[in-house]
C-alpha cells in the first residue's frame, strides 16, 4: 500500500500499467452546463510519481469556469483550437494574468491560484494539463459558493450582495 | 539569504528576533467592509520554520468572508467570544463542515480548502490561527471574482447568472 | 491508512472530526512534580496536516522543565499570566535566548532546540503551543538522563560530576 | 533569488512570464545523429513550480536514444505519429516495459529509470513530455560511456567487451 | 506499515533492531564477473530514516562497473586499499570527475549521476558507501543495455555501432 | 548561492571539490575533557546533497557524552576498536537501546534522539558516522544545561536537585 492504493506484486507489473490511451478523442466526464469534457489520465504505475494529467475538450462558447486546485500547480498545453486562459493573483492584488492561447502554446498557473479558460472561438478547443500532484483536488468557485450548504447570508456578505440574489443563483445551480 | 529574506549575522541575533508581542489587544489591518481586524505575527527568527500565525478580531455581525490559503492548512483557536466557523470540501461534493465554536475550541481546515467564520453573537470574537506555511497566501472568493479584472461574461458563466448582476456586485466592490 | 492511522470512510466524515473543544479550562495530563498540565489537541481530521497543538497550564512556581521536540519547531502564545520562556542554541555556543512573556506574546523555538518555561509570577499561566509536526515527540532532559537506564558513570562523565551525585538525583526521579 | 534564478519584481510580472509559445512547430536543438529535435519549455514564472516540459519531434527512423533523467520522473503524450517507447527496470531485473504508442497515448517512466523512444513508422512523430523537476538533468547512456573521458579499459569491463571495440565506438562519437 | 514495511510493535523493539554486524569481513552478494562483493546494510529500525549503506570489497583488477542510483546521492569512504573512483556529469558535458582514493578518503557523487570504481592496485580494496535513500535502486549501464530485452537496433543506434557488435556483447552477458 | 553557500562556476568545478582525505588518521577538533577527536567531513560538492559525515576517535575511557542532533538521524560504523553505543527513546519511556559494538558493526539512531558512545576497552576506537542533513547541529546535554546561561533554579528544578549541586557542576564546566 502506498498513498492508500494497493501496490501490485512487482512480478505482475506489465507495460500497460504505465499506459493511458485514447486522449486523441474526447472522453471522460462532460459538463453540459459549462460545455467541457474532462478526462483525467489514470495510470496505475503513476502512483507515487507526484503528477497527474487531464485532457480537456471545450466546445465553442464553453468555459472551464473559475476554479483552483488546492494541492497543485498546473501547466496547460493547447492541442487544438484557441482559448482565453488566465489566473488571478492573491489578495490584495487580484491581478489578472491572461492570454489568448493558440495551438502549441503552454501556460503555467502557480500552486493553488484561481484560474479559468474560455473558448471564445468557433472551433472546438483541446488542452492537455499537467498537475504537480497525484491528488490535486478541484474547487469550482461557483459550485463552492452556491451548490453546497453555505448559509445565504454568509454568501451574500462574501459577495457584497443580498440574500435574494444568492437564492436566485442557488436555484440556477439546482437545475440540472 | 533564505527564502528571499536576508539572514541576520548569527552573532547579532537576540531573543527579540523570536518574539512578537501585543496579541492581547486588537491590532493590524482592519476591514470595515467585513468587520474584522487581522494581525499577522511577524517573527524574524521564524524564517524557514514553515509556519505563520494570525490574530483575528471580529465584531458582532462581522465575517471573515469565504476564502482560502493556496499554500497552507489552518488550525484556529477561539480566544474570546463565539463564531460560526466552517469549510467546504472539494468538487463535486461541496460538503459543508461547520460548527459554532466557543472559547477554547480548536477547528482545523485541510490544505487549500474554502473556509469562513461568522460572528453571529453579540460580543466581539477573537481567534488565533496557525498556518502550515511561512507564506500561506490569501484568496478572498468575492474579491477574486469581483474586485479584479475578470471579464464580466466569464464571471456570469461561472456563477450561472447574468452580466447585469455581475456589474451590480462589481460596483459594490468598487465602493470603499 | 495514512501515517499509521486508519482513514475514515470519507462519506462518514463529520464536522466534529475537525474539532477539539474545552481548551478554556485546564485539562489533560498533570505533572505534580513540575506543576504543569498539558493537553494535546487531538483532531482526527488533522492527520496528514503536519501540525499539532498543545494547551498548557502552569501553576505559580511551576516549570515546564528543559526539553526539546526531536521532530518539530514550536511557536507558543501566552493566553493568561506571565512566564519566563527561552531556548538554548546548539554547541558550542549554548547561547540563551529568553524573555518574560505576558498575555498576547508569541515566542518561537527553532527545530529541535532545547527550551523551557517558568511561571515566576503569582497567577496561573496558560499557553497555546503550535508544533510543526503531527508527531513532534518530547524529550525531557532530566528524565532522559536520570529516569531511564543510562549507566551512572556515563551520566557522571556527561555532566562532569561523580556517580554519587548521579545516584542521588536518580533516587529523586524514582520518587513519584 | 530562488533556485539560483533572480526573481522578478512582482509589480513587473506580466502574463507573458507564464507563457511559452510555438510548440505546434518543430523548434529547439536538433540532433542530426539521432534524428530528433527537442524544445525545452522555458517559462520564467515556472521557477519553483517543480516541473518542466519538453516538446520532441522525431523523424522516421529517428530515436531518442537510451537515456535517463537523474532528478525526475517523466510522463509523455504522443501528439502526432507513432513511436515505440519504453523503460528498463533496475538491476537485477533489467525488465523492459515498452509499447507502441499512437496519437493520444500517455506513458509514464518512474524516477531515474533508463528509457528511450523510437520512430519506427513512416511519418514524423511529436511528443510532449512532462518532467517532475525544474532541473531534471539528462544522461545519454551512449554519450556518457563513449563521448567523455572514461578510461577505455573501464568501459570495456563494464560492457564485457574489449578495448578495440571501445575505441571504434569512441571514434564514432567523435565524428560530428 | 510505513513504506511498505510492517512496523514492529514498539514494545517489542530491541537494540538489535538498530544493529547490523560483521562489516569487517567480506560478505553479501559476489559478482565473479566484475570482481566485487556488495553487502547492503539491513537495519529494521532504519525504516523511514531515509538512508542506506553498502559495504563493498573489490579484488585487485576488479571493478564496480559504470552504474547509477535512480533515487540517491552517494558518499563513499575507503576503508582498505586503493581505488580509482569517479563520476560523469550530465549531457552535454559528460565531464569526468575522478581520483585515485586511498584509505581514509571520502568521495561524493551527486544524485543520480553515473559513477564507477576500479581496483587498479595489488591489494583488496574495501569501501563503505552511504546512500541518501532507503531504497536507492541500482542501474548497471552494461546490464541495462545488454542483459535485458532492449531491441538490438535500438542499442546499436544508442551506441553508434552495428547490430553484430551488440549481439556479440549480449552473448557475453548471457554467459554466467 | 544555495543554502547560504556560494555555488562555484560549474566550469571551475574539479574532482577535488568532491573529495575529503585523511580520515585514516585522527584529526579535527579534540576534546581533552571527554577524550574524543571529531573530524567533520567538509566536501564543497556535497552542498545540497542532504548528508554529512563525521570521523571520530575515542581514547580508552573516553566518551562522546550524551547528545543529539536537532536536524538529523545518524548511522555509525565502527572502524577500529570497540564502544558501548546507545540511544534513549522519547518521554515517557526513556528506554535505553544500547549495544557493545565491535569493528564492522553499524548502529542507527532515529532523528533527534539522545545518544552517546563510550570506549570502555583498552584500545583506541574509531567510528565513521553518517548524518541525514548537511547541517545536523549538535546539542551536548551537559553543556546545554551547565555551560550556558540557564538560570540555576531552572536547572535545579529540571534535574530534581538543588542550586548548590547545580553551581558545583557549573564550576566544573567552567574549568578548561
- Residues C8-25: tens digit of each pLDDT: 777 788 888 888 888 888
Domain match, D27 and D94 both:
yes
Residues in chain D: 176
Confidence of residue E51 (pLDDT cuts 50, 70, 90): confident
Residue C42 has pLDDT above 80, yes or no: yes
Residue D1 has pLDDT above 60, yes or no: no
Q: Are B22 and B11 in contact (CB under 8 A)?
A: no
What is the Cα–Cα distance from B157 to B153, expressed in whole angstroms? 6
C-beta atoms surrounding D133 within 10 Å = 17
CA distance E77 to chain D (A): 21
Tell me what the pLDDT averaged over chain C comes to.
90
C1 close contact with A: CB closer than 8 A: yes
CA F155 to chain centre: 23
Domain match, C99 and C151 both:
no
CA B65 to chain centre: 8
State which H helix or E strand residue B174 sits in: helix B163-174
Question: Whose CA is closest to B16, among C108, C173, D127?
Answer: C108
Write out pLDDT tens, residues C65-93: 999 999 999 999 999 999 999 999 999 99
Instruction: Answer yes or no: is E3 within a domain.
Output: no
CA B176 to chain centre: 20
Residue F50 has pLDDT above 90, yes or no: no
pLDDT of residue B91: 94
C-beta atoms surrounding B12 within 10 Å = 7
Q: Please count the residue pairs, one from chain A and one from chain B, whose beta carbons lie less than 8 angstroms apart.
A: 168
Residues of C in contact with A1 (CB under 8 A): 1
Confidence of residue A45 (pLDDT cuts 50, 70, 90): confident
Tell me what the pLDDT averaged over chain E comes to.
90
Say which of C94, C111, C139 has its CB closest to residue F114. Answer: C139
Residues of A in contact with C47 (CB under 8 A): none
Establish whether A69 is an annotated binding residue: yes
Residue F10 has pLDDT above 80, yes or no: no
Domain match, D157 and D112 both:
no
Domain match, D29 and D95 both:
yes
Instruction: Answer yes or no: is D5 within a domain.
Output: no
Residue D7 has pLDDT above 60, yes or no: no
Domain match, E95 and E112 both:
yes
A43 close contact with D: CB closer than 8 A: yes
Q: What angle do CA B76, B79, B84 make, to 5 degrees?
A: 60
Residues of B in contact with C41 (CB under 8 A): 75, 106
Q: What is the CATH number of the domain that holds E113?
A: 2.60.120.10
What average pLDDT does the segment C123-134 reach? 93
What is the Cα–Cα distance from C54 to A31, expressed in whole angstroms? 46
pLDDT of residue A130: 94
Tell me what the pLDDT averaged over chain B comes to.
90
Domain match, A71 and A95 both:
yes
Cis omega (within 30 of 0) for bond into A76: no
pLDDT of residue C4: 42
Confidence of residue E22 (pLDDT cuts 50, 70, 90): confident
Cβ neighbours for E55, distance < 8 A, ≥ 6 positions apart: E23, E27, E28, E38, E39, E41, E126, E127, E128, E129
Task: List, as own/partner pairs, every contact residues C26-34 make where C-beta atoms lie below 8 angstroms and the sequence separation is at least 24, other chains included.
Answer: C26/C57, C26/C126, C27/C55, C28/C55, C33/F160, C34/C62, C34/C63, C34/C64, C34/C65, C34/F157
Domain count, chain E: 2
Say which of B18, B49, B106 has its CB closest to residue C43. Answer: B106
CA distance F4 to chain B (A): 6
What average pLDDT does the segment C118-140 reach? 93
CA C126 to chain centre: 13
Write out pLDDT tens, residues D51-80: 889 999 999 999 999 999 999 999 999 999
A6 close contact with C: CB closer than 8 A: no
Residue F7 has pLDDT above 70, yes or no: no
C-alpha cell at D49: 513550480
Residue D14 phi, psi dihedral angles, 5° rounding: -130, 170
Chains D and E lie in contact, requiring 3 or more CB pairs less than 8 Å apart: yes
User: Is E15's CB within 8 Å of F46's CB?
Assistant: no
What average pLDDT does the segment E11-36 reach? 86
CA distance C6 to chain A (A): 10
CA distance A144 to chain C (A): 17
Better pLDDT: A54 or E45? A54
CA F138 to chain centre: 6
Residues of C in contact with B43 (CB under 8 A): 75, 106, 108
Write out pLDDT tens, residues B85-144: 999 999 999 999 999 999 999 999 999 999 999 998 999 999 999 999 888 999 999 999
Confidence of residue C49 (pLDDT cuts 50, 70, 90): low
Residues of C in contact with E15 (CB under 8 A): none
pLDDT of residue A22: 82
Domain match, C84 and C68 both:
yes
Better pLDDT: A21 or E128? E128
How far are the Cα atoms of D63, E152, E160 from residue E155, in angstroms, in the given order?
A: 10, 5, 8
What average pLDDT does the segment D171-176 reach? 89
User: Is C143's CB within 8 Å of F94's CB?
Assistant: yes
pLDDT of residue B130: 93
State which H helix or E strand residue F157 sits in: helix F152-158
Which range, of A10-19, B52-61, E135-144, F65-74, averages the lowest pLDDT? A10-19
D106 close contact with B: CB closer than 8 A: no
Instruction: Answer yes or no: is D119 within a domain.
Output: yes
Q: Are B83 and B127 in contact (CB under 8 A)?
A: yes
Chains A and B lie in contact, requiring 3 or more CB pairs less than 8 Å apart: yes
- The proportion of chain F whose per-residue pLDDT surpasses 70, expressed as a percent, equals 93
B95 close contact with F: CB closer than 8 A: no
What average pLDDT does the segment E146-162 reach? 96
Establish whether D53 is an annotated binding residue: no
Which single residue is written with the C-alpha cell 447585469? Answer: B164
Tell me what the pLDDT averaged over chain A comes to.
90
Q: Which chains touch D (3 or more CB pairs under 8 A)?
A: A, B, E, F
pLDDT of residue E30: 87
Which single residue is written with the C-alpha cell 562523565? Answer: C157
How far are the Cα atoms of A97, C31, C74, C104 from residue C27, in angstroms, in the given order?
A: 51, 12, 21, 21
User: Is D65's CB within 8 Å of E110's CB?
Assistant: no
Domain match, C152 and C126 both:
no
CA distance D3 to chain F (A): 7
Confidence of residue A48 (pLDDT cuts 50, 70, 90): low
pLDDT of residue C154: 96
Q: Are E143 and E170 in contact (CB under 8 A)?
A: no
Cβ neighbours for A39, distance < 8 A, ≥ 6 positions apart: A23, A26, A27, A28, A29, A54, A55, A56
Instruction: Answer yes or no: is B5 within a domain.
Output: no
- The proportion of chain B whose per-residue pLDDT surpasses 70, expressed as a percent, equals 93
Residues of B in contact with A111 (CB under 8 A): 70-71
CA distance B148 to chain D (A): 15
User: Is D132's CB within 8 Å of A107's CB?
Assistant: no
pLDDT of residue A1: 41
Residues of F in contact with C63 (CB under 8 A): 154, 157-158
Nearest CA in chain B to F3: B2
Residue F58 domain boundaries: 10-137
Residue E92 has pLDDT above 60, yes or no: yes
Residues of E in contact with D116 (CB under 8 A): 150, 154, 158
pLDDT of residue D113: 97
C-beta atoms surrounding C55 within 10 Å = 25
C-alpha cell at C67: 526539553
Give exposure, B84-112, as e/b (b: 16+ Cβ within 10 Å): bbbbbbbeeebbbbbbebbbbbbbbbbbb
Nearest CA in chain B to F5: B1
Strand F19-20 with F29-31, pairing: unpaired
User: Is D1's CB within 8 Å of F1's CB?
Assistant: yes
Residue E3 has pLDDT above 80, yes or no: no
Better pLDDT: C50 or E102? E102
Helices (H), C37-162: 141-146, 152-158
User: Is E53's CB within 8 Å of F130's CB?
Assistant: yes
User: Is F161's CB within 8 Å of C149's CB?
Assistant: no
Question: Whose CA is closest to C72, among C129, C150, C149, C154?
Answer: C129
Q: Are C49 and C134 in contact (CB under 8 A)?
A: yes
pTM for this prediction = 0.92
Instruction: Answer yes or no: is F5 within a domain.
Output: no
- Indicate the annotated binding residues of E: 67, 69, 74, 115
Helices (H), B19-161: 141-146, 152-158
Which single residue is written with the C-alpha cell 454568509? Answer: A154
Instruction: Answer yes or no: is B29 within a domain.
Output: yes
Q: Specify the 3-state DSSP secondary structure of D142.
A: helix
Domain match, C71 and C40 both:
yes
Which single residue is written with the C-alpha cell 555509525? Answer: F76
Q: What angle do CA A126, A127, A129 make, to 5 degrees?
A: 160
CA C155 to chain centre: 23
Residues of D in contact with F7 (CB under 8 A): 4
Establish whether A115 is an annotated binding residue: yes
How far are the Cα atoms of C142, C152, C157 from residue C168, in angstroms, in the given order?
A: 13, 11, 15
Chains D and A lie in contact, requiring 3 or more CB pairs less than 8 Å apart: yes
What is the Cα–Cα distance from F148 to F169, expressed in whole angstroms? 12
Q: Are F125 and E42 in contact (CB under 8 A)?
A: no
Strand partners, D98: D86
Domain match, F72 and F21 both:
yes
Strand B114-118 with B82-88, pairing: antiparallel
Confidence of residue C1 (pLDDT cuts 50, 70, 90): very low
pLDDT of residue D49: 64
Domain match, D85 and D60 both:
yes
Enter the ipTM: 0.91
pLDDT of residue C22: 82
Write out pLDDT tens, residues C133-168: 888 999 999 999 999 999 999 999 999 999 999 999
Domain match, E128 and E148 both:
no
Residues of D in contact with F2 (CB under 8 A): 4
Instruction: Answer yes or no: is D4 within a domain.
Output: no
Strand partners, C76: C107, C129
How far are the Cα atoms of A84, E14, F85, F112 from residue F88, in angstroms, in the given order?
A: 60, 12, 11, 10
Write out pLDDT tens, residues A128-147: 999 998 889 999 999 999 99
User: Is C49's CB within 8 Å of B101's CB?
Assistant: no
C-alpha cell at D95: 525488465
Instruction: Answer yes or no: is D132 within a domain.
Output: yes
User: Is B101's CB within 8 Å of C19's CB?
Assistant: yes
Say which of D51, D102, D103 has its CB closest to residue A132. Answer: D51
Amino acid at each position: 500500500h502506498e498513498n492508500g492504493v494497493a501496490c501490485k506484486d512487482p512480478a505482475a507489473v506489465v507495460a500497460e500499467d504505465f499506459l493511458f490511451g485514447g486522449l486523441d478523442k474526447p472522453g471522460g466526464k462532460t459538463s453540459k452546463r459549462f460545455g467541457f469534457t474532462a478526462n483525467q489520465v489514470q495510470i496505475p504505475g503513476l502512483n507515487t510519481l507526484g503528477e497527474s494529467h487531464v485532457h480537456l475538450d471545450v466546445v465553442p462558447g464553453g468555459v472551464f469556469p473559475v476554479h483552483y486546485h488546492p494541492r497543485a500547480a498546473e501547466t496547460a498545453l493547447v492541442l487544438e483550437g484557441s482559448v482565453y486562459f488566465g489566473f488571478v493573483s492573491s489578495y490584495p492584488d487580484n491581478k489578472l494574468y491572461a492570454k489568448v492561447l493558440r495551438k502549441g502554446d503552454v501556460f503555467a498557473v502557480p500552486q493553488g491560484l484561481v484560474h479559468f479558460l474560455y473558448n471564445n472561438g468557433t472551433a472546438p478547443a483541446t488542452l492537455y494539463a499537467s498537475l504537480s500532484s497525484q491528488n490535486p483536488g478541484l474547487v469550482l468557485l461557483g459550485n463552492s459558493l452556491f451548490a453546497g450548504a453555505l448559509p445565504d447570508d454568509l454568501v451574500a456578505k462574501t459577495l457584497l450582495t443580498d440574500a435574494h440574489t444568492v437564492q436566485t443563483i442557488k436555484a440556477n445551480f439546482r437545475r440540472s
